[in-house]
Amino acid sequence: MKYKIVFSIPIHQKMEVVIDQIVNFRHFNKNCAIIFHISQGFDNNDTLISKDEFFEIIQKFEGVYINPTSVKTGLHSIIQAHISNFKYIKDVISFDYFAICASNESFVKEGLYEHILGTECGFKQCIINKPTEWTHGTNLFKDQPFLDYLRARAINRIIFTNAEGQYYRSELFLRIVNEIDSFFKLDEVKMAYPRDEIYCSTIAYHFCKKEKKKIGYLFTYSAYHFTHLWDVSKIEVDRLISGNGHFYTIKRVERQINDNIRSYLRNIFHYKMEEKKILSEYGCELLDYSNVRIYILDIYKYINAIVHNLPKIRQRIWKVVRI
């Protein structure tokens, strides 16, 4: 059997939330597979379902796999997990596309495969010319192995993208992995920055432009507000559901099984009963929230974020006033 898309997801906490994500992804994507990388530092105490119970539940899903290898990962080394996932899954199943996702991400509409079909890959094509053009630009331009690679391959454009929502044809991602393995020792890197937002997109962009292959756009909407609150709101979810754009998933959805957004998605898309049947066996209760309560929780999150980030907000306002 050949799968349309394999979703690569590193996980590091809350097994019950991972189950919620499996049900959500499978609901919106027929004939998809999911490959999880379990972090070496997985917090087994901060979960309602044990690791053994999780593996027991996984057996009930077709097309869900656990990478038997756990590489060392951190905030700036997630790329190793995705590469490890790809190396494992390519020898287990056949698939068209390999997509990079996060454990705090949820689908809000179907049709992703039909949307990306015909493209070689997809990501945000933001060209970085100097350190000041990216949050982690200083370390990027001190990454000598990467700079040496660009010179060796005569690549004159560094392409930044959000990590989540990138996708690549399986044959292309294999070429990318081979390039990275040939030129880099990722477990020995010295400069810390999120390479999953630079390496794959830059290499793929070079290949596709040279070979005149079509590049699409990433499919994940990442919530970001002036308050520095990155959790998604119901308003944003509703806007994406009703829109015709290229976003099919949304993040950051809080890693709590009864987060108001998770509950909202389970109810409006009617996959709550499927999930409840699975989790109730393990004493995990799924709560219902009214739309009014969801809005109230959204408002609480915003107020809390504003209070927490007030100094940063003042700085931004002061910069605008000075200008």
C-alpha distances (whole Å) from 284 to each of 132, 270, 306, 316, 323 are 47, 18, 32, 43, 53
Q: By the 8 A CB rule, do 71 and 186 touch? A: no
**Assigned CATH topology for domain 2-254:** Spore Coat Polysaccharide Biosynthesis Protein SpsA; Chain A (3.90.550)
Mean pLDDT of successive 10-residue segments in the chain (323 residues)?
95 93 97 95 81 92 96 83 98 98 96 97 96 90 94 96 97 98 85 93 98 97 63 86 91 91 94 93 85 72 68 58 50
Q: Are strands 167-169 and 94-100 parallel, antiparallel or unpaired?
A: antiparallel
Is there a contact between 24 and 271 (Cβ–Cβ < 8 Å)? yes
Cβ-based neighbours of 98, under 8 Å, separated by 6 or more:
5, 6, 8, 86, 89, 167, 168, 169, 170, 173
Can you give the pLDDT at residue 27?
97
Q: Is 70 exposed, middle or buried (0-12, 13-18, 19+ CB in 10 A)?
A: middle
Helix, strand, coil tally for the chain in percent (to 5): 45, 15, 35
Smallest CA-to-CA distance from 183 within 127, 143, 128 is with 143
Query: What is the pTM assigned to this prediction?
Result: 0.91
Q: Is the dihedral of CA 46, 51, 56, 58 positive or negative?
A: positive
CA-based torsion, 120, 121, 125, 131: positive or negative: negative
124 three-class SS: coil
The pLDDT, as a whole number, for residue 292 is: 72
pLDDT at 296: 76
C-alpha 37/C-alpha 39 separation (Å) is 6
The domains of the chain are located at 2-254
Kind and range of the H or E element at 65? Answer: strand 64-66
Residue with tokens 């530092």: 41
- The confidence score (pLDDT) of residue 192 equals 86
The pLDDT value given to residue 287: 85
Query: Which residues are paired to 32 by β-bridges?
Result: 5
